[in-house]
Structure 1
Amino acid sequence: MAAEAAVLEELRGLRVRVPQVGGALAATVDGFVLAEDLARARAERPTEAEPLAALTAAALGLAFRMNEATGRGAFRELLIHGELGYVATYAAGPAAVLTLLADDRINVGRLHLEGRRTAKHIGELVAEARRSAASHPPTYVALTRSEPPPERRRLPLERRRRGSPEPDGTQRQTTD
């Protein structure tokens, strides 16, 4: 997807604005990594992007179901507070999700403010990339295949069953 570089810049910008965010990941809603900036999170504790994206997709599925079951509308965000910090997940349009790993000392209001802004912008970038891809489909080289000679062409099934003439003019015998 063409938006990956721009999404990575968004993640890096967020981490500069909010130093207590140790890692940021943008992924598709089905768990594929779009971009990640997990350098500090990896230094503190081994964190890999692919498993985190898959876990985010699983948590997103549960959050969707929880929202649906309780009638709270469309999913917006999920916040997990652990002993050592926060994991915040934000909807980034209909096709992407933003997950942030933050220190325990972060101002949660600031985390939400920056996370929501960044998620909105990432959602716009992904949507634009999808529109662009849809309006410019990839060009494929057509493989040419020669047609078999008329005597070797098969008749459509209906014509074969009814005993219609073969391409050479002879009558087909049916065994029905």
Structure 2
Amino acid sequence: MSAEAEVRQVRQELGRLRAHVPQLAGALVATVDGLVLAEDTAAPPGDAPPPEPESLAALTAAALSVAYQMNEAAGRGTFRELLIHGERGYVATYAAGASAVLTLLADDRLNVGRLHLEGRRCAARVGELATQALASGESARGADARTAADSRTAAAAASSRTGARPPLERRRRNLPSS
């Protein structure tokens, strides 16, 4: 399956999630590096403009980094989610596989338990699809690089085509691969 097909499926999952949880104002899937993979956002009620997906993805990556470090310092195991409650609602971020995150924007009247239930389910499905999409995208870029570059570039492209990326935890700590 192509990367575009996987991204379409990720968008469909976001649409299903918004249908199951009507108080969601938006959903975003991004890489842990802050690049948007898919988004489904609407203008919030009132005069506020809709959030910019690129800015939200970049802030998600930054918050994820801090949350991961805090979680690690507190000795709470593998990072799973981050919840922010503001005056007008919630921002919830869930790990979606090893290389993506799901960020949800929700109204204040939302049942937080329902948000977690549906958010965790969606993050698991999106994590699988995002991993496939990123692997497909890396494969395509790797093939292009191989035709234009020297043997070192070809070897690097071959390793990226495997889609083998270290888990989120190892990348965040900058540990060498085992």
TM (normalized to structure 1)? 0.74
**Cα 1:112–1:132, aligned 2, differ >3 Å: closer, same or farther?**
same
Runs of at least 4 residues of structure 1 off by over 4 A?
131-137, 139-143
Q: CA RMSD in A?
A: 2.1
Residue 45 of structure 1 deviates from its aligned partner by: 2.3
Residue 5 of structure 1 deviates from its aligned partner by: 1.0
Contact 1:24/1:36 (<8 A) preserved: yes
Give the whole-Å Cα distance in 1 for the aligned partners of 2:47 and 2:95. 26
The corresponding residue for 1:109 is: 113
Out of 38, 42, 46, the residue aligned to residue 39 of structure 1 is 42
Tell me the percent identity: 62
**Cα 1:42–1:9, aligned 2, differ >3 Å: closer, same or farther?**
farther
Pair 1:100 & 2:100 matched:
no
**Cα 1:140–1:19, aligned 2, differ >3 Å: closer, same or farther?**
same
The corresponding residue for 2:143 is: 138
Out of 90, 96, 101, the residue aligned to residue 86 of structure 1 is 90
Residue 126 of structure 1 deviates from its aligned partner by: 1.4
Secondary structure in 1 aligned to 2:143? coil
Give the whole-Å Cα distance in 2 for the aligned partners of 1:30 and 1:59. 11
The corresponding residue for 1:50 is: 54
Q: Which has the higher helix share?
A: 2
Give the whole-Å Cα distance in 1 for the aligned partners of 2:134 and 2:57. 20
Higher relative contact order (CA 8 A, sep 6+): 2
Pair 1:125 & 2:129 matched:
yes
Residue 44 of structure 1 deviates from its aligned partner by: 5.7
The corresponding residue for 2:31 is: 28
Q: Which has the larger radius of gyration?
A: 1
Give the whole-Å Cα distance in 2 for the aligned partners of 1:13 and 1:44. 27
Amino acid at match of 2:81: E
Pair 1:64 & 2:68 matched:
yes
Question: Tell me, which stretches of 5 or more residues in structure 1 are unaligned?
Answer: 144-176
TM (normalized to structure 2)? 0.73
Question: Tell me, which stretches of 5 or more residues in structure 2 are unaligned?
Answer: 149-178
Amino acid at match of 1:73: G
